[in-house]
Structure 1
Amino acid sequence: MATQLKPRVECSEAEWKARQELAACYRIFAHLGWYESIYNHITVRVPGEDDAFLINPYGLLWEEVTASSLVKIDGEGNKVGDNPYPVNLAGFTQHSVFHKNLDHAHAIVHTHTPDTMAVCSSAGGLRTSNFYSCFFAGEVGYHDFEGITVRSEEGVRLIENVGQNKVLLLRNHGPVVMGNTIYEMFLLYYMLQRACEVQVKTAAMGDAIEVPDEVIAVHQRDRDNQLTDEFGKLDFEAWTRKIDRIDTSWRD
């Protein structure tokens, strides 16, 4: 593991840890191809600060994001601190409403990967036809497409449609995945991405086999028996080691 770097921005130790984990998350997503040029967003609340969260600097590829380049913004969209990069309005508008209103929305990701967008654009949405999708049965919200998410009034409907779920599929658009920790968000997204990839491939082969409700119940019961407060941490740490072997500049 690379040596811990001294923070390049003035912040608490807790915020610096959050910055490094978020920067690592951006690099992992970039490595896996789960990003859209300089667009899309992953955000994390700043520990101990009301309404403040960290977001990617608008204009950088995800593979270029570092801990110190992340932009800190408050609940009104104002930048906190001296950072030269702008913030994508769509990223603030969408993510701020979840951070403000949902306790479990500590970390949030929104992407435009082809397979997740394909599922969001299909009439049936996410189907219970594979190992991964069955994890999400009954735990996904849907929100009808209203155009680019830059108008604050859409926030009310976003909150209504996500409910207490951690996954919201924006129809004709893409997914939003959130978690109590960055580790949980990462692993939930990993499984959702896999579920969508398999669904798209299965659709190309013909009719999918739907899993019966009683089997899904057993599947989710056994899933719940494995859940801990550190759900996803081992996965996240493993992928962090992977990107460290490629490039450690994200830590700076």
Structure 2
Amino acid sequence: MSFSNEEQIRIDLAASFRIFAHLGMHEAVANHFSAAVSEDGKKFLINPKWKHFSRIRASDLLLLDADDPSTAERPDVDATAWSIHGQLHQKLPHVRVAMHLHPVYATAVSTMKAPRILPVDQNTARYFNRVSVDTMFGGMADSVEEGERLCGLLENNSRLLMGNHGVMVTGTDIGVAFDDMWTLERACQIFVTALSTGQPLNVLSDEVAEKTARDWEKIEDFSRQHFEEMKTLMIQQDPSVLD
């Protein structure tokens, strides 16, 4: 079965919501993922306001235009989603996919006085010098100005550790962004668990950490296959994701 580009993006994005719900990384009926469907990136799909990740179908996703300010008045669009994702897709055309979550371990790291993921294993080393950090949390991100500020932090980096808040991962396609988010949370879980032992950490050298991060960047096909395997699992469990 073949699908148009938008149809395939709808299916993949809907599946990503189901996967993260399956993994317990969702936040009640909050948090948002978006994916551009137009060449300029300004037309994008996003989840509707306050619908649980585990129930999202391809047809539920809203098609929005980043250049249409009246979108902010729509009852099915969450204000924080529009403030952040609307600005991302308006100002950063290279961002094709944006995923924002409050997963337990990444959020825990974000609450540290100096948030940083130290390279203590293969997963944490993926993020060596590759995560922007925002330490200016001021409450709900529900203004255009806040969205613009976050865009500035993501302009030259694909990941943002949002202090006292959560994490944002951006990417060129859904498979890569999914695996990046999954590995980022796994990295933070490993890091927090290692810290909890109270023992000194054997932090990798800068040279080894940088080499490992570069090796990760060479295997985007691994990331996409991880997503495809998980998507297949979600479809087998509940084919309604395709609807």
TM-score normalised by the chain length of structure 2: 0.90
Deviation for aligned residue 1:60: 1.4
Question: Residue 177 of structure 1: SS of its match in structure 2?
Answer: strand
2:111 paired with 1:121:
yes
Alpha-carbon distance between aligned partners in 1 of 2:158 and 2:196, rounded to the nearest angstrom: 28
Deviation, 1:25, is 0.8
In structure 1, the partner of 2:32 is: 41
CA distance in 1, matches of 2:58, 2:75: 13
Q: Indicate whether 1:25 and 2:19 are aligned.
A: no
What are the residue-to-residue correspondences of 1:178-197 with 2, within 5 Å?
A: 178-197=170-189
Contact 1:19 1:54 survives alignment (8 Å): yes
Distance in 1 between residues matched to 2:98 and 2:222, nearest whole Å: 15
- Which amino acid is the alignment partner of residue 201 of structure 2? A
Q: 1:155 to 1:57 in 2, by over 3 A?
A: closer
Pairs aligned (count): 237
Q: Is the 8 A contact 1:108 1:176 kept in 2?
A: yes
- Deviations along 1:215-244, whole A, 9 cap, x unmatched? 1122123334x335x562211110011112
Give 2:99's aligned residue: 109
CA distance in 2 between counterparts of 1:175 and 1:197 reads 14
Which residue in 2 is equivalent to 1:7?
Answer: none
More helix by share: 2
Question: C-alpha distance in 1, partners of 2:91/2:182?
Answer: 24
Map 1:97-246; keep pairs closer than 5 Å: 97-125=87-115, 126-143=117-134, 144-206=136-198, 207-224=200-217, 226-228=218-220, 230=221, 232-246=223-237
Give, in angstroms, the shift of residue 136 of structure 1.
Answer: 0.9
Q: Secondary structure at the match of 1:132?
A: helix
After superposition, the Cα gap between the structure-2 partners of 1:85 and 1:68, relative to the gap in structure 1 and judged at 3 Å, is: farther
Structure 1: gaps of 5 or more residues: 5-11
Partners of 1:107 and 1:182 within 8 A in 2? yes
SS where residue 99 of structure 2 aligns? strand
* 8 Å Cα contact 2:106/2:188 also seen in 1: yes
2:81 corresponds to which residue? 91
Distance 2:166 2:28 in 1: 15
TM-score by length of 1: 0.87
Runs ≥4 residues deviating over 4 A:
none
Q: Give the conservation status (yes or no) of the 8 Å contact 1:71–1:85.
A: no
**In the alignment, is the contact (CA less than 8 A) between 1:141 and 1:163 conserved in 2?**
no
Q: Is the 8 A contact 1:37 1:61 kept in 2?
A: yes
Q: Which amino acid aligns with 2:50?
A: G
Q: Residues 77 and 66 from structure 1, CA distance in 2 versus in 1: closer, same or farther, beyond 3 angstroms? A: farther
Equivalent pair of 1:55/1:71 in contact (CA under 8 Å): yes
Computed over aligned residues only, the root mean square deviation of the Cα atoms, in angstroms, reads: 2.0
Q: Cα deviations across residues 85-144 of structure 1 (Å, max 9, x unaligned)? A: 711110111112222222331111111111111011112322222321111111111112
Quick one: distance in 2 between partners of 1:161 and 1:250?
Answer: 33
Q: Distance in 1 between matches of 2:39 and 2:227?
A: 23
**Structure 1 position 251 matched with structure 2 position 221:** no
Name the amino acid aligned to 1:232: S
> Counterparts of 2:88 and 2:219 in 1: how far apart (Å)?
23
Q: In structure 2, do the counterparts of structure 1 residues 243 and 50 end up closer, same or farther at CA, with 3 Å as the change threshold?
A: closer
Letter in 1 for 2:141: T
CA–CA separation in structure 2 for the residues paired with 1:156 and 1:69: 27
Does the residue aligned with 2:132 lie in a helix, a strand or coil?
Answer: strand
In 1: Cα distance, 2:50 partner to 2:210 partner: 44
